[in-house]
């Protein structure tokens, strides 16, 4: 009943671990899958190792967290070693980032053999200059990154977009025209910040960080809704999904699956199973027999 597919990748259910959350190691990716997720996205990897920012890198705010981990990762060589250890049956989406179309293409090509799909992080709101949202806010740069990756790999490619743009539809179309096979909407919002009022200091060492969690869900649902009407490729919705009702909203807005991240802070890795149980009960009560029937219903 919960089965769905994206770009011909069969998923046992539409819940997916979002990039950047418990995604650096095969052990945690396997754990999340065994715990109930339909697929997993790795933490974003780059060609060279990156220690990320100094702590504090995460702080809770009303309705979620802001984080500036700084895309820390051990580099693509070590990443390949981890991916080899991910269980065979786990649908795996490898998230990559770089500072140029060539870096994206090279990183994607070197992990392609271990991944069912490549997700392009052109949307991190706290990456170093030239990476992340600096790309995803520019339709032309987005087009060039997606094209370069599509030339370099055979695996399907999803482009993860930032909501921090005037018109997300324009960027989404640009990614689609460049050959993106799917879209992931949205990355964290902002950047935002939190200041300690006793010392007048920004708490995050980077001062700013990306906002995630329940508070960004309305923005994410709107982005999915907007983009669904304007593109023909499948969408993975992400942003503030914490319970099955949230997942249903995303499906109705036009997503074929939902990615889940910050909810693990509140509910643990069991959140995937919890959402799937709720979703199944909802579908039975409402007379849906497949996830497909629900996708985009809010548009009718």
**Near other proteins by CB under 8 A: residue from 1, 3, 10, 78:** 78
Per CB under 8 A, contacts with other proteins among 219-238 are: none
**72 interacts with other proteins by CB under 8 A:** yes
**65 interacts with other proteins by CB under 8 A:** yes
CA pair distance 155, 79, nearest whole angstrom = 17
Candidates 7, 124, 223, 276; catalytic one: 124
Range in contact with other proteins (rule: CB under 8 A) among 21-29, 105-113, 237-245, 248-256: 21-29
**Near other proteins by CB under 8 A: residue from 67, 121, 159, 188:** 67
**Near other proteins by CB under 8 A: residue from 6, 9, 16, 21:** 21
**264 interacts with other proteins by CB under 8 A:** yes
Asked if residue 255 has a cis previous peptide bond (ω within 30° of 0), the answer is no
Residue closer to other proteins by CB (options 65, 94) is: 65
**Near other proteins by CB under 8 A: residue from 13, 15, 28, 137:** 28
**88 interacts with other proteins by CB under 8 A:** no
Is 240 known as a binding-site position?
Answer: yes
Q: What are the phi and psi torsion angles at 87 (to 5°)?
A: -55, 140
Range in contact with other proteins (rule: CB under 8 A) among 20-28, 129-137, 219-227, 279-287: 20-28
**73 interacts with other proteins by CB under 8 A:** yes
How open is the CA angle 132-159-182, to the nearest 5 degrees?
A: 170
**Near other proteins by CB under 8 A: residue from 49, 63, 179, 278:** 49
Range in contact with other proteins (rule: CB under 8 A) among 8-16, 61-69, 157-165, 278-286: 61-69
Length of the chain: 300
124 is catalytic: yes
The annotation places the binding site for substrate at 43, 67-71, 121, 187-188
Residues that bind other proteins (CB under 8 A): 20-32, 43, 49-52, 54-61, 65, 67, 69, 72-75, 78, 194, 196, 198-199, 201, 203, 205, 261-262, 264-265, 268-269
């Amino acid at each position: 009943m919960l089965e769905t597919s994206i770009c011909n990748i069969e998923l046992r259910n539409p819940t997916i671990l979002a990039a950047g959350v418990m995604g650096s190691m095969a052990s945690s990716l396997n754990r999340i899958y065994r715990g109930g997720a339909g697929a997993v996205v790795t933490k974003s990897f780059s060609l060279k190792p990156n220690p990320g920012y100094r702590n504090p890198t995460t702080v809770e705010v009303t309705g979620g967290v802001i984080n500036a981990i700084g895309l820390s990762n051990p580099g693509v060589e070590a990443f390949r070693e981890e991916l080899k250890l991910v269980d065979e049956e786990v649908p795996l989406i490898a998230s990559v980032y770089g500072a140029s179309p060539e870096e994206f293409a090279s990183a994607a090509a070197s992990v392609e053999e271990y991944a069912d799909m490549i997700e392009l992080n052109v949307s991190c709101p706290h990456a170093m200059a030239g990476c992340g949202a600096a790309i995803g806010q520019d339709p032309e740069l987005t087009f060039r990154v997606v094209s370069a990756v599509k030339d370099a790999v055979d695996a399907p490619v999803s482009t993860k977009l930032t909501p921090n743009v005037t018109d997300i539809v324009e960027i989404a179309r640009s990614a689609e025209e460049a050959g993106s096979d799917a879209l992931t909407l949205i990355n964290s919002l902002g950047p935002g910040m939190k200041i300690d009022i006793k010392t007048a200091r920004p708490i995050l060492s980077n001062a700013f960080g990306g906002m995630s969690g329940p508070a960004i869900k309305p923005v994410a649902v709107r982005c999915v809704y907007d983009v669904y009407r304007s593109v023909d490729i499948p969408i993975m919705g992400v942003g503030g999904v914490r319970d099955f009702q949230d997942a249903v909203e995303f499906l109705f807005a036009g997503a074929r699956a939902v990615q889940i991240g910050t909810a693990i802070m509140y509910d643990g890795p069991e959140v995937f199973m919890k959402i799937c149980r709720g979703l199944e009960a909802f579908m039975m009560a409402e007379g849906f027999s497949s996830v497909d029937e629900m996708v985009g219903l809010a548009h009718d």
